[in-house]
Amino acid sequence: MDIEYESVIGLEVHVQLKTKSKIFSQASTNFGANPNTQACAVDLGLPGVLPVLNKEAVRMAITFGLAVGARIENNSIFARKNYFYPDLPKGYQISQYEIPIVSGGSLDINANGELKKIRITRAHLEEDAGKSIHDLYENESAIDLNRAGTPLIEIVSEPDMRSSKEAVEYLKKIHNLVRYLDICDGNMQEGSFRCDANVSLRAKGSNELGIRTEIKNLNSFKFVEQAINFEISRQTQVLSKGNNVVQETRLYDPNKNQTRSMRSKEEANDYRYFPDPDLLPVEITKETITKIMENMPELPDKRKTRFMDEYGLEEYDVDILISEKSLSNYFEKVVKKVTCDVKFVANWMITELLALSNKHSILPANIPVSPSDFSCLINAISDKRISSKQAKTILEKMWKSGKSPDEIIDEEGFSQISDEGQINKLVDNVLKNHYKSVEEYKNGKDKLFGFFVGEIIKESKGKANPQIVTQILKEKLKDDN
């Protein structure tokens, strides 16, 4: 009998908070420092130290909670999660178990063109562990505790996703949100944003959950998608043979594109949580919440609606513009300074500016062309001082040199010929040189029109305004009839 399976996916997303100092100590959280230079006595778990909670980490966790419509606990508590691993010097991780700071809430994702609500179970504050490096020495592992104590929120979803695509949509949504909230830099390569995926299968239509596996430490959208897809097909095979899925932790190997069992984790899965006696309950007052609410930045979903309503842009374009906070800020700065249609600005940003940032592998936040220079360029096109084709060349030069478009136009003699007298002469010349083609055109070979335009533009060294050329050319060819 062939059973049709449905996959059930929940994610645990680890978001490193953008604080300057650690969650329980005054050591720096900067990425990339020399090993163990930012690991202080508290981070090392030396005897006699006490953790003191970072106010900013609490504020950021609350900010996230409010942004997803969650409940903020007014008396949240910290717990010890006990396990032994060399990059966890205390033998326990300070986390939250009962009464996490954030519970409930949800996010809407786009699932095949329809909005789908993904419920959030909880988001709790915890400290990150250090890093183990296994390939540095042959017979030993090296431990760097700079990351130990970096504040995290772990966002746990309900098992509401039904495909790897939905899981990636949800993950991207959170990734975008935490950057709009300015609580995480979102750098997945540096591990600031990573996730574990819980995957199980059940017979389609069933309400019961199947046995799940947990895939650990996925740090790119692509890996999340591939790991889940692999796990779905692996579990399908297990179930189809009449066997049971084993509940276990698995590791994704991107080189082999497969997951494998992490047997070492099985024993340790009993974490024996208990309230941390070093930390008191965290009281969060209504005033604190109100203040954070008042300072809440515009959220991506709201900005999306506003861009569509205010600027009349298509959803597809808006989705690209709001995909990065810096990009949507850039767009609004440009829009304020241009005289032309906003749609024209959006097109130029998406097709030209973003193409350049892709080509040079530059994040939108680091685009070297200032919004004000970019708006000057847009104005030069819409005023017909330069052609679109010239503008593309000028933009590349702006990107490389940091010069303003006016400087480049002056220096390099870019500027469009819009003078009708000049263009008249160009057209006459070209038609004279190609009199045979003119004959053919008149005998019905319409396609040659484009050829004439091309020749005229070439003759002008790319400077003739194509619209005026077309207009004059049409008249001339008609006149001669």
* Contacts to another protein by CB under 8 A: 19-21, 25-28, 34-41, 44, 46, 52-58, 77, 82, 84-86, 91, 98-99, 132-134, 136-137, 139-145, 251, 262, 264-265, 267-268, 270, 272, 275, 277, 279-283
Q: Measured from the CB of residue 105, what is the shortest distance to another protein in angstroms? A: 23
Query: Is the Cβ of residue 288 or residue 422 nearer to another protein in the bound state?
Result: 288
- Nearest approach, Cβ of 258 to another protein (angstroms)? 15
Six token digits for residue 432: 């004279």
Cβ-based neighbours of 254, under 8 Å, separated by 6 or more: 223, 226
Shortest distance in whole angstroms from residue 44 CB to another protein: 6
CB of 185 to another protein, least distance (A): 15
Give me the least distance between CB of 329 and another protein, in Å please. 24
> Which residue is listed with tokens 């350049």?
356
How far apart (Å, rounded) are the C-alpha atoms in residues 14 and 191?
9
Our CB check for another protein shows the closer of 217 and 243 to be 217
Helical residues (DSSP H) of 195-269, grouped into ranges: 221-240, 264-267
Angle of CA points 351, 354, 358, to nearest 5°:
120
| Comparison of 34 and 112: residue with beta carbon closer to another protein | 34
The tokens for 230 are 């692999």
What is the CA 30 to chain-centroid distance, rounded?
Answer: 21
CA distance 477 to 481: 7
Which one, 170 or 230, has the nearer CB to another protein?
Answer: 230
Residue 198 contacts residue 159 (beta carbons within 8 Å): yes
Other beta carbons within 10 angstroms of residue 105's beta carbon come to 22
- Closer by beta carbon to another protein, 36 or else 437: 36
Nearer to another protein, 250 or 303 (CB): 250
Output the smallest distance, CB 414 to another protein, in A: 49
Which neighbouring-strand residues pair with 161?
A: 9
Least distance from another protein to the Cβ atom of residue 115, Å: 36
For residue 228, give the nearest of 239, 238, 216 by alpha carbon: 216
> Closest Cα partner for 410 from 384, 386, 382, 379?
386
C-alpha to C-alpha distance for 302 and 181, rounded to whole angstroms:
13
Amino acid at the residue 382 = S
Q: Are 193 and 217 in contact (CB under 8 A)?
A: no
CB of 284 to another protein, least distance (A): 10
Taking the complex as a whole, the smallest distance from the CB of residue 56 to another protein amounts, in Å, to 4
Instruction: Identify which of residues 275 and 368 has a Cβ nearer to another protein in the complex.
Output: 275
> Smaller CB distance to another protein: residue 208 or 270?
270
Q: What angle do CA 185, 325, 323 make, to 5 degrees?
A: 100
Q: Which amino acid, residue 272?
A: R
Nearer to another protein, 104 or 275 (CB): 275
